[in-house]
Amino acid sequence: MSSSTPSRRPQVQRFGLAGIGTAVLLVAIASPAGAAADVVIPLAPTEVVLFSNPVENSGAVPMDPSADPTAGLSTPVPVEFTGSLTVELPAGLDSSDVEADLVFDDNGDGNPEATYSSAFTPANPQFLTVAGQGTSSITVTLPADDPMVGDDAVLVLEPLTTTYDPAVFTFVDPVSYELALSAPADPLDPAAVTVAPELVALASVPCPLSSTTPCPVAVTAGANLVLDLTADSALRELGLTDLTGVDVAVQSIDDPDADPVLLDVRVSGSTATVAVPAGLAAGSYGLVLGQPFASGLSIVVAELAVSAPAATPAASTTAAPSTQAVVANTGLRSNTGVVASAETGSTGTGTVAAGAGLLLLAGAGGFAVARTRRRPAAGTGTGEA
């Protein structure tokens, strides 16, 4: 028998913004007349970190934005002893030298009950058979049931490198999956399961991720940000040709408990324009851009230093001639010094639930990283170096 998880989707098509939290607000704000000059942010990172997201461990479906963002973070993939697990690697990874470890640590104390590895010699009873090195499909033959080691395990594939420009891109391996093993329903035909992790590309601008010096982009509340996917941007190597499908949000750095705000985006080819909310308080904010590409999700972050707009000069209060009628101008300072209330509702802020377009993936911002462990020495089954 065989089973397969959902293919690398179009599921990523509205994958959401990683690390952005739950209660996201969709804000549509018209730029006020006389707003500050546009601020251009080139999307041309000099460093891009790649890592895999085991979507099947995250439930492989978008979560309810109002739900707990940690829900479903550790959903093990069900597999059968003596069956097989095929990992369909995303484009951009080279598996020529990959090996596999299957680590059983049922009580999670960091001391595995057993470790199976393709690094062992074939004569070792805990040798793990792996096929497909050098291709995008790595198949691991799972061992027979050993009642002494439990049923929960972590599969780790490493080393993996990137086929993208190594001067810019770094893959933080390994690819790892949490598994729940069980006896085969049919011992003569154990299940063959396929999983397809997605690639996450993380970058920051204008400073690289490795920079220890902040480099916030100064912007005035109410101004436009113009995001420019430059012709020479390294992100184009991922297959991005324009900014179609990009989501943009801001999150307060000064108040991390504040709700992130999803901004209205106007895309024109390789540029996207968003308005910094006019009512946004001055302070430090994180700008987060999320955009799907064929193998996964691109995330670009930047720090914003938001300042309040300049105060509008008060209208003249010169006294009117005695024969002039007094007229109150709605929303403006009248010539009597009285301020009349402006009508509301014409260009105000519209707030709707995040479900109107932003899908948050369970586990966003906390993509699985292999458990800290010692790599087993070849020829042993103890997991010790």
Inter-residue contact 195 to 54 (CB < 8 Å): yes
The CA–CA distances, whole Å, from 29 to 259, 345, 350 equal 17, 12, 8
* Overall fold of domain 76-196: Immunoglobulin-like (2.60.40)
346, pLDDT greater than 60:
no
pLDDT band of residue 310 (cuts 50, 70, 90) is: confident
Calculate mean pLDDT across residues 349-361: 24
* Residue 256, pLDDT score: 82
pLDDT in tens, 187-213: 888 999 999 999 999 999 999 999 999
Inter-residue contact 301 to 213 (CB < 8 Å): no
Higher pLDDT pick, 230 / 349? 230
pLDDT band of residue 338 (cuts 50, 70, 90) is: very low
Calculate mean pLDDT across residues 331-354: 27
Domains of the chain by residue range: 12-49+202-310+347-361, 76-196
Other residues' Cβ atoms within 10 Å of the Cβ of residue 245: 16
* Cross-strand pairs, 293: 296
The CA–CA distances, whole Å, from 257 to 22, 31, 251, 253, 299 equal 11, 27, 9, 9, 21
Tokens at 347, concatenated:
């260009």
Mean of the per-residue pLDDT values of the chain: 76
Short-list 356, 298, 337, 381, CA closest to 117: 381
- pTM, 2 dp: 0.72
- The label of the residue with tokens 């993936």 reads 361
Higher pLDDT pick, 199 / 355? 199
pLDDT in tens, 99-151: 999 999 877 778 899 999 999 999 999 999 999 999 999 999 999 998 888 89
- Tell me the CATH architecture of domain 12-49+202-310+347-361: Sandwich (2.60)
291, pLDDT greater than 50:
yes
Decide if 12-49+202-310+347-361 and 76-196 have a common fold.
yes
* Residue 317, pLDDT score: 53
358, pLDDT greater than 70:
no
